[in-house]
């Protein structure tokens, strides 16, 4: 997703769950995944190239960083940064894969007419052999961003590409609103899961260290 939508999703999902400086650290780390160094050679950061196993392993590695940090360190910012990286991957899953299209094919009306009804963790879709994400065709994809020539280059890129499949902004069509809703819901789910794990492992004070909400108490 484009940066403005990653930021929008993250703020909407987490604004009441973290102290503001902590939330900004999460957003900053989330957005930093789209810098050039985070794009090239790291499809698992964004669930590109159908790198689902590697993407899930990457998210698990960020959860491990969070759990280790809040137990051993009073500085919560590394944990917040890890959560930002985790949420970026989770959000891109819906924008870069055909999850939304598969969900729409699975559910009856009227649910599929309302983007807010989308289930972001529909297990049969998560396990489906039909689930895939767009391929990154280098270097051709880089030329699609060049004014004047971009559209002509895009027409030559295969339809299984990220260029054609992505739901990164409203310009990609009506499915974008479903991807946006699913990404926001998944961000809340990831928050709830990690907070539960922190609480079970280290107690409520560790949760306060992670979220910064102890400052308000």
Q: List the chain domain ranges.
A: 3-216
Name the H helices within the chain. 3-14, 20-32, 36-39, 52-72, 77-96, 99-106, 123-126, 140-143, 150-154, 162-165, 176-202, 204-211
- Indicate the pLDDT class of residue 215, thresholds 50, 70 and 90: low
Q: pLDDT above 90 covers what percent of the chain?
A: 76
128-153 tens-digit pLDDT: 999 999 999 888 777 777 877 778 87
- State the pTM of this model: 0.92
- For residue 216, is pLDDT > 60? no
Q: What is the pLDDT of residue 149?
A: 75
For range 66-89, the mean pLDDT: 92
CA distances from residue 79 to 74, 84, 136 in whole angstroms, order as listed? 10, 9, 30
Q: Could you give the count of Cα atoms lying within 13 Å of 160 in the half-sphere of its Cβ?
A: 7
* Model pLDDT, residue 40: 80
Section 185-202 average pLDDT? 96
């Amino acid at each position: 997703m484009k940066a403005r939508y990653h930021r929008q999703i993250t703020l909407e999902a987490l604004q009441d769950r973290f102290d503001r400086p902590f939330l900004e650290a999460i957003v900053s780390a989330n957005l930093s995944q789209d810098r050039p160094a985070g794009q090239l050679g790291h499809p698992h950061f964004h669930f590109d190239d159908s790198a689902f196993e590697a993407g899930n392993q990457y998210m698990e590695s960020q959860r491990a960083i969070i759990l280790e940090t809040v137990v051993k360190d009073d500085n919560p910012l590394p944990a917040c940064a890890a959560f930002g990286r985790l949420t970026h991957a989770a959000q891109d899953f819906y924008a870069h894969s055909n999850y939304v299209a598969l969900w729409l094919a699975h559910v009856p009306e009227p649910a599929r007419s309302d983007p807010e009804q989308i289930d972001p963790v529909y297990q049969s879709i998560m396990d489906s052999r039909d689930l895939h994400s767009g391929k990154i065709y280098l270097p051709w994809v880089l030329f699609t961003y060049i004014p004047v020539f971009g559209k002509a280059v895009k027409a030559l890129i295969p339809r299984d590409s990220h260029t054609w499949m992505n739901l990164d902004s409203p310009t990609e069509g009506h499915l974008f609103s479903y991807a946006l809703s699913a990404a926001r819901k998944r961000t809340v789910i990831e928050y709830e899961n990690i907070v539960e794990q922190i609480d079970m492992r280290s107690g409520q004070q560790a949760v306060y260290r992670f979220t910064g909400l102890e400052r308000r108490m």
